[in-house]
Each structure stands twice: as C-alpha cells, then as structure tokens.
C-alpha cells in the first residue's frame, strides 16, 4: 500500500537528497499512519469497553497518541523544508529532529500514563470478559503495527530520517505491547488465577513504551547536540578531495549538520608550497565544486602549503609522527615546518589530540618536545594542539 502511495504522490522518489522529496515522504507516511492509528483506536476502544479490559483500552489510547505523533512528524517535515531566512541563515532542517524529539516525549508520556492506570488495575482488579471481538481486533492490530514498523523503518533508512526512525520504533514497541495484551486476556480466559493479569500486562506494555520513547529521544537528541560524521563519510570526502591533484592530503575536517540535506564541510588541503598560487587556487575551486555536487553540501577549503621536496622536513615529519603515535595511536601531525637559526632550530607543527588521550594539552606538548629534544637537542618545538571533529 505504501509503495502505491509513494508512486502516486511522490515524483522522483529515489532522489532522496532532494529536500522536497524528503518532505513528501514524511507527509505521505504521516497521513497514512494517522489513518491506520485512528482506525485502530476506534476498534480497540470498542473492544476494551466490551471486554472491560484496562490494558486493551489503554492500548487504544496509545494508538490515538500515535496519530498525534504522526501529525507532529508531518509538521516537522513541512517546517524543516522552509527556506533559510534572515534569522535562520542555515535553514530550518533541524526542526525535523525537534519533531522527532517531541514524538519521543509523547511516547514516554503515554507509557507513564499507562503505567499509572495499570498499577490501579493491579491494586483494584476487575474481571475481564474475553470475547472474539477483542482477540480479532488485537490480532489485526499486531499485524498492522508490524506493517507500519516495516514501512516506517524502510523509509527512515531511505531518507536517513531520525524522526521517521522514532515513529518506526514506536510501531515496533506497539507490536510487542499489543501482543502482551493479547496474551494476558487469553490467559485470563483459560487460566484461573488470583493474579491481576490484565493490570500486570498493562504495566509490561507501559515499560515497553517508555523504553521505546527513551531510545527514540536519544536518537533525536544526538544530531541536535552534534555528532561526528561517520568514518565512511570521512573517507569519501578525503577520496573525493585527493582526486584533485596536486592536493597531497587533508586535515582539520569539520562537518556541520544543520538538518538532512543541509550540511556544511570545511577542511584544510595540503598543497605543494612551490607551485603557482593561482593554479593552486583553481584546483581548490574545482575541488569545492565537485565535493558540493557529490555530497549536496556547502564546502570551504583552506590551502595549506607544505614542503614536499625538502628531505630534512620529510624526515622530521616522519620522526615526529612516529613519536606522537607512540604516545597515543590516534594522534596525528600536520603543518610541520622547520625554521633554522644560528643557535637553535624551531620545529613548528600541529597535533590533533584524540578524545582517548588522557593527557592535557601541556602534558602532551611537554612529552612530545622532550622526546624530540632527546634525539635532536638543537630543536625547540612549538606545538599547537587541535581537537578532532571527526
């Protein structure tokens, strides 16, 4: 069904880098989700009233809250598609993450409310009348919710959407929780026990819902706070940059994510210091254009001239890199240059200190300087410590 809707309402559905296509995916899936959840709400509410089951009734209102979540998701996609303005020059893309976070809070709220009502059912249990209507409605609900999980999960991966992933997680938790409700009312019919199975099942469902909401919240908070790009993406950027000769290497790569399809990249490109500056500038311009086209982003590249022909600089760079790695395997060295003088030689370079390195900046400078000075006593090290952003 969702494939048919995609074909009917989304032009060029495979162009998922296009913000307009992403918006339509969110709207189509959201409207379809509202339709299914409202249907499930009415049928479950009817079944809950007939069976006098607090778990079934609570599950019905959980579906109603899911419909509300879909409305918020639609609004999030619509608002995130708004063009940049004077107050938001980087666009509104992160509103999609905000909508996912709101959905997560609604999921948690639904779980907490269900936990309260289920606890009351445990303390003050009432007999549950299990009929064919309740069983059929719950079985249909389980199948429907699992179907919603499958298509929402598929779309979330296709368009790389944290908000759609939150909806998918909620659908999966609903599948599990409804199965627990079905098991409880079936057990109540065939097993004679003083235990308040209906209330206990409701509490189990509530726990599933709260856990699902917390997980979804974490997945949407992370991109709002800022997360590093994936190692695969970093390698792709590096490979695309190094295609443009004579760029020798890159460092200080920073990826700013302002929402899906709104990424900004900045990096330093190492180029030969003895080449014509205008020719190098042309290479950098071409690299910026090609990277921007491939990754659908804005790109800024800073040129770093390096001396590739000086054997002394090359040997010193290799030696310093080996010493740095011996301190911590994640440390990298760049922008090394040598300034000789009559009484001493300045060795100037930057090191990128990984988060795994427990030394503070001054300890790292001191340790690395001492190791270099043990081998090259005439050298004075001037070290700048950088932070990694990838």
Inter-helix orientation angle 95-123/54-80, to 10°: 170
Q: Indicate if the alpha-carbon torsion angle 217, 219, 222, 224 is positive or negative.
A: negative
**For residue 246, is the peptide bond before it cis, meaning its omega torsion is within 30 degrees of 0?**
yes
Read off the pLDDT band of 385 (50, 70, 90).
very high
- The reported pLDDT for the residue numbered 128 is 61
- The reported pLDDT for the residue numbered 215 is 81
* Helix, coil or strand: residue 338: strand
How confident is the model over 96-147, as pLDDT tens digits?
788 878 878 877 887 887 788 778 778 877 666 667 788 888 899 999 999 9
> Is-above-0.85 flag for pTM?
no
- The reported pLDDT for the residue numbered 234 is 93
pLDDT at residue 261 tops 70: no
Please give the Cα distance from 367 to 327 (Å, whole number): 8
| Cα separation values, 71 from 34, 64, 65, 204, Å | 7, 11, 10, 27
């Amino acid at each position: 069904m969702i494939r048919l809707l995609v074909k009917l309402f989304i032009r060029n559905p495979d162009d998922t880098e296009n913000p307009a296509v992403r918006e339509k995916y969110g709207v189509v899936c959201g409207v379809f989700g509202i339709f299914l959840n409202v249907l499930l709400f009415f049928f479950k509410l009817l079944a809950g009233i007939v069976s006098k089951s607090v778990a079934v009734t609570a599950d019905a209102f959980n579906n109603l809250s899911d419909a509300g979540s879909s409305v918020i998701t639609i609004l999030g996609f619509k608002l995130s598609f708004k063009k940049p303005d004077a107050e938001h020059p980087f666009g509104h893309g992160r509103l999609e993450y905000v909508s996912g976070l709101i959905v997560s809070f609604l999921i948690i709220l639904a779980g907490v409310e269900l936990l309260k009502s289920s606890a009351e059912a445990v303390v003050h249990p009432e007999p549950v009348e299990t009929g064919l209507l309740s069983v059929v409605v719950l079985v249909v609900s389980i199948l429907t919710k699992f179907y919603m999980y499958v298509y929402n999960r598929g779309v979330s991966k296709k368009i790389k959407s944290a908000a759609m992933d939150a909806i998918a997680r909620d659908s999966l938790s609903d599948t599990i929780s409804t199965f627990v409700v079905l098991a409880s009312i079936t057990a109540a019919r065939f097993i004679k026990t003083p235990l308040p199975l209906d209330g206990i099942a409701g509490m189990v469902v509530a726990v599933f819902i709260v856990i699902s909401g917390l997980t979804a919240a974490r997945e949407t908070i992370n991109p709002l706070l800022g997360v590093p790009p994936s190692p695969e993406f970093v390698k792709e950027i590096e490979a695309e940059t190094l295609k443009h000769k004579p760029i020798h290497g890159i460092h200080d790569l920073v990826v700013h994510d302002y929402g899906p399809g709104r990424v900004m990249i900045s990096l330093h490109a190492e180029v030969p210091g003895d080449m014509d500056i205008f020719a190098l500038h042309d290479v950098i311009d071409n690299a910026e254009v090609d990277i921007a086209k491939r990754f659908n982003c804005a790109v800024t590249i800073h040129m770093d001239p390096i001396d590739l022909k000086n054997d002394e600089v090359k040997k010193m760079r290799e030696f310093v890199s080996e010493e740095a790695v011996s301190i911590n395997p994640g440390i990298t060295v760049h922008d090394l240059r040598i300034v000789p003088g009559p009484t001493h030689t300045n060795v100037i370079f930057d090191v990128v200190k990984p988060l795994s390195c427990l030394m503070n900046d001054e300890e790292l400078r001191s340790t690395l300087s001492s190791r270099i000075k043990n081998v090259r006593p005439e050298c004075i090290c001037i070290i700048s410590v950088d932070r990694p952003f990838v």
